[in-house]
Amino acid sequence: MEENFSDIQTDGERVEQIFSGIPVVPGIAHAEALVHWLEEDEIPYRKIKPEELPGEIARFEAALVATRTELLEIQQRIATSLGASDASIFDAHLLVVEDRTLIDEVLRNLEKDHFNIETTFHRIAEKYCKALQAIDDPYLRERVVDIEDVSRSVLRHLMGKNPRRIPTPDRPHIIIAKNLTPSDTAMINRDKVVGFATEAGSKTSHSAIMARSLDIPAIVGLGQLFQVITSGDDILIDGYTGKLILNPSQETLERYGRIQKQKDEVEERLELIRETSCVTVDGRHIILSANIELANEMDDVRECGAEGIGLYRTEFLYLNRKTPPDEEEQFHDYRHIAEQALPYSVIIRTLDIGGDKSTESLDLPKEQNPFLGCRAIRFCLNHPEIFKPQIKAILRAGVVGNIKLMLPMISGMDELRAAKRLIDECCGELSSAHIEFNPDIELGTMIELPSAVLVAKWLAKEVKFFSIGTNDLIQYTIAVDRVNERIAHLYTPTHPAIIRLIQMTTQVAKDQGIWCGVCGEMAGDVALTPLLLGAGVDELSTSPCLVPRVKKAVQTLAIPECEELVREALECEDHLSILNLSEGLAKSRYGELF
């Protein structure tokens, strides 16, 4: 019997069986199983004559184009429903169908061996997958699923078959699969799928990432499910502990019913505080706003009780298109969001492209290390023809009266002043053209580089606010790529250096009379809320779905106890000591959120 599997005999002949896997999305789901067994298509095999080569090449090119169109449609659907970050998962798929190395190798083998294009392409794709599987890197091995996903689509187009779809019964169900590809996950019926569990996979798999955005309880890495589970079986998945229970007993159902009831009660209490102010026990108001990527997220912002938009990521406007948006398109988008957010403010971050974000609409340089390359403000300063239309659109939308402009990845005074000169140019050009705009729009800067912290005293004299981007601040301070599994454990928000940098930034802001917020992932982590309040932040901006939890945390804390916590944290020498301090205070005040 597998190590991740156990039996429990219950009443009669019914057997409760428990599998243990890797939890990737918390939550509890109880429904019937829908087993998604992916049977591979039989690949037609035949030798071709030399005169058939042009036709085979034409079929291959047509299949690549059709697959690319299909991927772009899925990507657009995901971007609209989940956001640009999830849609960017399909950038890796698109790279496969555009990979000249792979395509050229297929064509060379086609001309050399004279096998039909289905056989030739299948063999080359398999070779690539085997090469990746042999690499001692879990993240790269996980990308095999992406290549298999794309090659399967190409082959189906070559064979004239429709895209494969998971069946969607008209009742709640939990999908059981060997592995779910990103395409599978993108096409599931969100109204009927209450969870999924897979034999393979990891926390870094693209399907796991998308499941987190869908907020569907999910477990991966469960091992041999197909040997014992069939469609229609009664199953329960526990996304908190990673357990899948086949034929749950009445006792098990009652126990999980109590857990679910407790969870629902917490959610109901959070709903009751939606319209309340985000004020600490001792009366300190902390602005609690939301991060968004799309205009259609404004409904979520209103429903969660956020005070406006603390970070509007404008990159989405440039993704999934061949030409960048012009000034008019951006102006209408920004004005619409600003009007929807009234009476609260909207902080629009200028284009933060590069690093892990690429787009066909911009001519981004190929760089050996893009995270240390021409990204964000560096790209914008090098391309005023891209930057100035965005600035003008923001200035024009600023007449609504609640827009603030924020610059990303500022490393020092030279970049800030260069950006301000371009802003002044835009003001002059709009004025000369007699176009209405707001010349007094508030300007702020992201603090996401250690160098920005060290020169914050001078930056603060030129701007009205700071917003600490903790994701990049941690990455650049500790020099760790958080999506690299081999070193991801080093990505620690409570590293003593990070706490010092945050505290230094808020102190400079206070001394210079400007406000300071946090818009990275730390802002939404209620285990770290005491640290951020104690460090002196004025604003927290997080995903809309996390706003009620953060509000509850703030409302049960007092600033003096948080400040004392930070004083103790600054004396700690390792990240676990600081995490334990902050989490200890958090659990003592709002343990139900954990």
Q: Give the H/E segment covering residue 6.
A: strand 5-9
Give ∠ CA 251-232-148 in degrees, rounded to 5.
115
Catalytic residue among 304, 426, 519, 562: 519
Burial (Cβ within 10 Å: 0-12, 13-18, ≥19) of residue 200: middle
pLDDT for residue 3: 39
Question: What's the token pair of residue 573?
Answer: 């020498």
Phi/psi region, residue 354 (left: phi>0; alpha: psi -120 to 50; beta: rest), is: left
State which H helix or E strand residue 123 sits in.
helix 117-133
Q: For position 39, what pLDDT does the model report?
A: 62
pTM: 0.71
Question: For position 429, what pLDDT does the model report?
Answer: 98
Q: How far apart are CA 200 and CA 554, in angstroms?
A: 39
Residue ranges of domains in the chain, CATH in brackets: 5-38+166-252 (3.50.30.10), 50-158 (1.10.274.10), 267-283+458-594 (3.20.20.60), 287-447 (3.20.20.60)
What are the structure tokens assigned to 87, written together? Answer: 């849609």
pLDDT tens across the length of the chain (594 residues): 333 445 444 444 568 999 988 888 888 999 999 888 766 668 888 899 989 999 999 999 999 998 888 888 777 766 666 665 556 666 667 777 888 888 899 999 999 989 999 999 999 888 888 877 766 555 556 667 778 878 888 988 898 887 666 667 788 999 998 877 766 766 777 788 899 898 877 765 666 766 766 778 989 888 878 778 988 999 999 988 889 999 999 999 999 999 888 888 888 898 889 899 999 999 999 999 999 887 878 888 998 999 999 999 998 788 767 788 999 999 999 999 999 999 999 999 999 876 555 555 566 666 566 667 777 899 999 999 999 999 999 999 999 999 999 999 999 999 999 999 999 999 999 999 999 999 999 999 999 999 999 999 999 999 999 999 998 999 899 998 765 556 767 889 999 999 999 999 999 999 999 999 999 889 999 999 999 999 999 999 998 888 999 999 999 999 999 999 999 999 999 999 999 999 999 999 999 887
3-state secondary structure of 49: coil
Which listed residue (30, 206, 495, 575) is catalytic?
206
Q: What is the C-alpha to C-alpha distance for residues 384 and 386, in angstroms, rounded to an integer?
A: 5
Rounded to 10 degrees, the C-alpha dihedral 130/134/138/144 comes to: -10
- Give the whole-angstrom CA distance, residue 593 versus residue 572: 26
Half-sphere exposure of 363 (CA within 13 A, CB side): 4
Question: Which token pair is 500?
Answer: 């010092």
Both tokens of residue 392? 């003008």
CA separation, residue 209 to residues 70, 87, 216, 352, 353 (Å): 21, 11, 11, 22, 21
Q: Which helix (H) or strand (E) holds 174?
A: strand 173-177
Residue 575 falls in the annotated catalytic set: no
519 is catalytic: yes
Would you state the pLDDT for residue 131?
77
